[in-house]
Amino acid sequence: MAVTGRVRNWWSHSKTVALIWFSSLALFYFLFQMALHNSTSPPSALLVSDSSMSNSNRRSTLYDKMERDLDEHGAAFLKHGETSQSLSLSDLFTLKDGFVTPVLKAAHPPVRANVLYMSTKYSVPISEAVKQVFDPYFDKAIWFQNSSLYHFSMFHASHHIVPVPASEVEIEAEAAAVKAVAEGLCPLEIVLDRVVLTSTGVLLGCWQVVSGTDPANIRAKLRTALPRAPEKQLYDAAILHTSFARLLSHPKASLMDTDNTSNPIELFHKLVSQLNNKIRGFKATVSELWYVEEYDVLALALNGKMKVRRFQMGCSRA
C-alpha cells in the first residue's frame, strides 16, 4: 500500500510539472509570434507617416524641377509660346494697348474639374503681395488670378484634352460621388514651400502639407469615385500648387535699366526672390472640395462661366 501511495504521489507531481512546462512553452511561443509580427508589420500610424514623408519628398523634387524650368527653357512666354495645358498665350489672352483681356472659349463638353478651394482669408494677402512685387514691372501686361478663385487642381472627370461627355444624370451622380469623398477628407494644414516662375510665364505657389489628407490620397479617392475619368490626368498625383499670376510680355524697359540688367531672366529671378522673402512659409487651411463644371476653357483661371458645387470636408481630427 505504501508503494502504491508513493507511485500516485510521483504521478501527480509529474503531471503538475508537465503542465507547468507545457504552459510556459505555450506562453513563450505566443510571445515570440507577437514579437515577430510586430517586427515585420509596422503600426499603421508609422505607415501613414512614411507615406506622407514620401509624398512630401516627391513634391520637393517636383518643385526643384519646376524652379529650374525658367533657366533650362528660357522665357517661352515672351515669344508667345505655350503657357499651360497645351494652350498658347493667344488661346487665352489678347493684349492690346497694354491691356489684357481673357479669351473665353466655350468648352465642348464642359470641363469637369475637382479642386481644393483656398479661402479669401488666405488668398487676399497673397494676391496683394504678388501685385506689390510684380505690378510695377509689368503694368497691364500681367494677368492676376482672381483672389476669390484661388484653387488647387486635384482631378478631372473630363478635360479639354480628353473630353468625357456626360448627361445631366451622370453629372449629378459624379457630384454626389465627389461629395461622399469630401465627407471622408480631413482639412489640410498647408505651408507655402516656395514661389516659382515657369518658362511659360505662370507664377506658381508650391505648397507642402503639414497635416490632413494628402493630395495624393485625395486624387486616389477621386479616381475610385469617378471611374469614367480620363486615365491621363493633367498633374502629378502628389503636387499641390496654385496659380498666382501669368506674365504676358516683357517687363518695362525703363525699370530694367533702373535694376541695371538687360537680361529679363535675371530680373524674373530677382522678383521671384523678393516675393519668396515676403510670403514663403505662409500657412493656410483648406477645407473645401469643389466640383466645377467649366463652361469656358480654363474658366477658373480666366473668370469664365462655370457652375460650382462646394463640399465641406467632413473628417474630424478631434
Q: Which residue has the higher pLDDT, 11 or 309?
A: 309
Q: Is the pLDDT of residue 179 over 80?
A: yes
User: In angstroms, rounded to a whole number, what is the distance separating the alpha carbons of residues 122 and 127?
Assistant: 9
Instruction: Please answer whether residues 182 and 312 qualify as being in contact, where contact means their C-beta atoms are separated by less than 8 angstroms.
Output: yes
Give the predicted TM-score (pTM) of the model: 0.80
Q: Is the pLDDT of residue 187 over 80?
A: yes
User: In angstroms, rounded to a whole number, what is the distance separating the alpha carbons of residues 108 and 307?
Assistant: 15
Give, in order, the Cα–Cα distances in Å from 14 to each of 20, 88, 314, 318.
10, 91, 63, 57
Residue 27: per-residue pLDDT = 40
Domain ranges, ordered by start, for the chain? 59-312
- CA dihedral sign, ordered 220, 222, 227, 230: negative
Helix (H) or strand (E) holding 145: none
**What single-letter DSSP state applies at residue 162?**
S
Residue 94: per-residue pLDDT = 86
For all residues of the chain together, what is the average pLDDT?
Answer: 84
Other CB atoms closer than 10 Å to residue 94's CB: what's the count?
Answer: 12
Instruction: Please answer whether residues 130 and 192 qualify as being in contact, where contact means their C-beta atoms are separated by less than 8 angstroms.
Output: no
User: In angstroms, rounded to a whole number, what is the distance separating the alpha carbons of residues 178 and 228?
Assistant: 13
User: In angstroms, rounded to a whole number, what is the distance separating the alpha carbons of residues 226 and 173?
Assistant: 9
CA angle at residue 160 from 219 to 162, to 5 degrees? 70
Cis amide leading into 42 (omega within 30): no
- Fold held by 59-312: Cyclic Phosphodiesterase; Chain: A, (3.90.1140)
pLDDT tens-place string over residues 75-86: 988 886 555 555
The band of 49, judged by pLDDT with boundaries at 50, 70 and 90, is: very low
Q: How far is CA 82 from the centre of its chain?
A: 23
pLDDT tens-place string over residues 105-157: 999 999 999 999 999 999 999 999 999 999 999 877 899 999 999 999 999 99
User: In angstroms, rounded to a whole number, what is the distance separating the alpha carbons of residues 138 and 100?
Assistant: 11
**What single-letter DSSP state applies at residue 236?**
-
Residue 16: per-residue pLDDT = 45
Alpha helix segments (H runs only) across 93-167: 120-138
**What single-letter DSSP state applies at residue 149?**
G
- pLDDT over 70 for what percent of the chain? 77
Instruction: Please answer whether residues 114 and 156 qualify as being in contact, where contact means their C-beta atoms are separated by less than 8 angstroms.
Output: yes
CA R_g for the chain: 29
Residue 50: per-residue pLDDT = 55
Q: Identify each DSSP E strand in the chain by its residue range.
A: 82-84, 87-88, 93-96, 99-102, 106-117, 142-144, 151-158, 188-197, 202-211, 241-247, 283-286, 288-296, 306-312
